A and B are shown apart, each in its own frame.
Chain A
Amino acid sequence: DSGVTQTPKHLITATGQRVTLRCSPRSGDLSVYWYQQSLDQGLQFLIQYYNGEERAKGNILERFSAQQFPDLHSELNLSSLELGDSALYFCASSVEWNTEAFFGQGTRLTVV
């Protein structure tokens, strides 16, 4: 158990809908990262937050947004969902920017 908690574990929703994925980082970790992993792609970096502020953006679609709250938990919002958004979404956290990241168990999103 890495100490990073993601909910829900599984989510099935229809195209066009909006969902929110939640991540609680390890106690004391200030940095949160979101990743998308689909079958034919590796782990794709989406976005990084540090102590409540957005610090780096990867290949995140405009339909996706995220935020980190004062208690350091983070949420990833996915809207206008398409079939191609079906994937495993991982959250990871680290103490600082220059330390290893620990991953949560992921949320498996299926869009039907």
Chain B
Amino acid sequence: GQNIDQPTEMTATEGAIVQINCTYQTSGFNGLFWYQQHAGEAPTFLSYNVLDGLEEKGRFSSFLSRSKGYSYLLLKELQMKDSASYLCAVRSPLSYSGYALNFGKGTSLLVTP
């Protein structure tokens, strides 16, 4: 089965740093993704980790520990436009050549002035 957990809501201040955690238990692992989704809009790709460690991409960084089933997304220098839902997703094999990208329920981040 698949179980992907993230906090439901977080609040942070403009200019600050926030860390959004994700823990997962999945049958098979083939990579972890973070997406950003504004209300009513399409999810947009932020980052991808398949090996342990930190991936940095501008103001966003993502970390993965496969042995702990744990990832986090770090957002620096927060801006008001970063208020959105952040989705953690794990890719798992479902068949000999098919893969599902299973999503957590998302963390709703509110950035305040």
Residues on A lying within 8 angstroms of B by beta carbon are: 2, 4, 33, 35, 41-45, 48, 50, 54-58, 88, 90, 92, 97-98, 100-106
Chain B, interface residues (CB within 8 Å), range: 20 to 34
Taking CB as reference atom, which chain B residue is nearest A88?
Answer: B40
B54 within 8 A of A: no
5 nearest A-B residue pairs (beta carbon): A56-B98, A55-B98, A56-B94, A42-B105, A103-B42
- Which residues in A have their C-beta under 8 angstroms from that of B45? 100-102
Please determine whether B101 and A42 come into contact, CB atoms closer than 8 angstroms: no
- Which residues in A have their C-beta under 8 angstroms from that of B95? 55-56
Contact with A along B75-95 (1 / 0, CB 8 A): 000000000000101010011
Please determine whether A45 and B102 come into contact, CB atoms closer than 8 angstroms: yes
With A2-B42, A102-B45 as known contacts, state yes or no: A43 contacts B97, CB within 8 Å: no
Please determine whether B105 and A41 come into contact, CB atoms closer than 8 angstroms: yes
Taken together as a complex, chains A and B put the C-alpha atoms of A45 and B102 apart, in Å, by 6
With A42-B104, A42-B105 as known contacts, state yes or no: A105 contacts B99, CB within 8 Å: no
Please determine whether A104 and B42 come into contact, CB atoms closer than 8 angstroms: yes
B63 within 8 A of A: no
Partner of A43, one of B44, B48, B87, B91: B87
Please determine whether B44 and A56 come into contact, CB atoms closer than 8 angstroms: no
Please determine whether B97 and A57 come into contact, CB atoms closer than 8 angstroms: no
Q: Provide the main secondary structure of the chain A interface.
A: strand
B44 to chain A, nearest CB (A): 7
With A42-B106, A98-B31 as known contacts, state yes or no: A90 contacts B98, CB within 8 Å: no
B15 within 8 A of A: no
Taken together as a complex, chains A and B put the C-alpha atoms of A99 and B9 apart, in Å, by 28
Taken together as a complex, chains A and B put the C-alpha atoms of A105 and B43 apart, in Å, by 8
B50 to chain A, nearest CB (A): 8
- Which residues in B have their C-beta under 8 angstroms from that of A57? 94, 98
Taken together as a complex, chains A and B put the C-alpha atoms of A41 and B103 apart, in Å, by 10
Contact with A along B15-45 (1 / 0, CB 8 A): 0000000000000001101010000111111
Partner of B99, one of A2, A43, A56, A100: A56
With A41-B105, A42-B104 as known contacts, state yes or no: A103 contacts B87, CB within 8 Å: no
